[in-house]
Structure 1
Amino acid sequence: MPEPLLLLSDVHTHIGPYHILHGVDFSVPTGELTMLLGRNGAGKTTTLRTIMGLWQASSGRIRFDGRDITASATPDIAHAGIAYVPESMGIFTDLTVRENIVLAARSGPLDKTRLDWILGLFPALKRFWNLPAGNLSGGQKQMLAIARAIAEPRRLLLIDEPTKGLAPVMVRSMIEAFKALKASGETILLVEQNFYAASALGDNVVVMDDGRIVHAGAMSDLVADTALQQRLLGLSLDAHQ
């Protein structure tokens, strides 16, 4: 079998005196959407930040596209083709929507065909194209953050809780956008607390608890097993429909 696009092997991460990740092992296959689930404080965000080099792994290995990036600097990891959308979104609220997206295309002028594709994913951004990003709703800001991440082609998207705090109608819009991203062949590692959204999108699922991987497999298997949902996450899909 071909090597997965992203592979974490026995990754440990310390933040100051705190040991946050304890031997994390999982993979992200090319062209699929992998969900990273777990209760609050399980280590999901730390995992994304460690992959991105924002926090250095204390030990273990992170391989991306066959290359060891464990000790690589964040700019080098980004240049290799990984984009990260943090929970805080990281947009420039004083700049217009257009300026936010143009600035994200660091390699040169934004390709018009790609821009049309992005605006097709997130039509609201076109309506607010020349307005300050600070005027957008929470869901629209999240859409802008993702649009910035895909302003240029990326090999892997790391996205942290894109539906957090969003109204149900906006969650449904976000699900449809991610379905379109999947259909285009994007590889995505997505942290999500909304199990309904996770079940609608995930090809694969990795579940964390207390900085460790406690389950990995097909998302469809977890969706079908309410007892496993309850044991791993303290919830069931039926309660989140």
Structure 2
Amino acid sequence: MSEVIDPTQVAQPLLALNGVHTHIGEYHILQGVDLQVPRGGLSVLLGRNGAGKTTTLRTIMGLWKASQGSILFDGNNIAAQATPMIAQAGIAYVPESMAIFSDLTVKENLHLAARNGTMDTQRLEWIFAFFPALKKFWNYPAGNLSGGQKQMVAIARAMIEPRKLLLVDEPTKGLAPAIIQSLMDAFQELKATDTTILLVEQNFNFVKNLGDTVAVMDDGRVVHTGSMRELADDEDLQQQLLGLSLASHQ
């Protein structure tokens, strides 16, 4: 009797970094990163400060160029492509700094993020369901909003159109619990669509139930990959990889 093969086990990852090195000036930050992001679901990138997590996201997005290695997105090597081309391929990036236009209104910020210049009304109402403050402050300058509200704008900019891959760097940093819950709900909804998410996050309570897979970085390399549930259930492994229990890392 032949073995039944689960097709999800042989599917090609949406994103694959193979031997990626990144130099920033004289500094050698990424030192041979190998990382696979399965198609669909949410992958979490963990590691101590300075491990290379943000550099990995920025290198994927083309903001910093890989000096060696390949970055395969949907089967195509995007390592040498310009950032606008990478965005057009279906990748959106939400940096830790949020990178919104402070002098523009919330409406104008989202309008600029729509690649075809128009916003789908139904999708906009879907976003408002998670972030009602955006509807309330629709015509306010984004720079006048609170830190949490600015983060909502940054996330909404990435959600305004369907994306194949969403890169998000530290979305809950400094946010109130109610806003964190709204973000969690939004990511759960995105997981149910065709959007794949790669998330850098330090708040373990936020990612432990959201994450499907996890990769841990140290000194510019990926030193562990596996399921989020496996890491969440193994405090010894948490101590080994991160030097602390993730349950206390909030």
State TM-score, norm by structure 2: 0.92
What does residue range 195-214 of structure 1 map to in structure 2 within 5 Å?
Answer: 195-214=204-223
Displacement of 1:100 in angstroms is 0.9
Tell whether 2:242 aligns with 1:227.
Answer: no
User: Equivalent residue for 1:141?
Assistant: 150
Displacement of 1:190 in angstroms is 0.4
CA distance in 2, matches of 1:118, 1:12: 36
CA distance in 1, matches of 2:74, 2:127: 25
User: Equivalent residue for 1:189?
Assistant: 198
Aligned residue identity for 2:175: L
Tell whether 2:85 aligns with 1:71.
Answer: no
User: Equivalent residue for 1:35?
Assistant: 44
With over 3 angstroms needed to count, the CA separation of the structure-2 counterparts of 1:238 and 1:200, relative to structure 1, is same
Q: Secondary structure of the residue that 1:22 maps to in structure 2? A: strand
User: Equivalent residue for 1:118?
Assistant: 127
% same residue: 68
Displacement of 1:173 in angstroms is 2.4
Q: Is the 8 A contact 2:111 2:117 kept in 1?
A: no
Equivalences, count? 241
Q: Secondary structure of the residue that 1:188 maps to in structure 2? A: strand
Displacement of 1:57 in angstroms is 0.6
User: Equivalent residue for 1:167?
Assistant: 176
Tell whether 2:180 aligns with 1:155.
Answer: no
Ranges of 4+ aligned residues in structure 1 off by more than 6 Å: none
- Runs of at least 5 residues in structure 1 that lack an aligned partner in the other structure: none
State TM-score, norm by structure 1: 0.96
CA distance in 1, matches of 2:56, 2:249: 26
Q: Is the 8 A contact 1:175 1:200 kept in 2?
A: no
Displacement of 1:238 in angstroms is 3.3
CA distance in 2, matches of 1:61, 1:13: 11
What does residue range 81-92 of structure 1 map to in structure 2 within 5 Å?
Answer: 81-92=90-101
CA distance in 2, matches of 1:122, 1:79: 25
CA distance in 1, matches of 2:170, 2:140: 25
| Aligned-CA RMSD value | 1.3
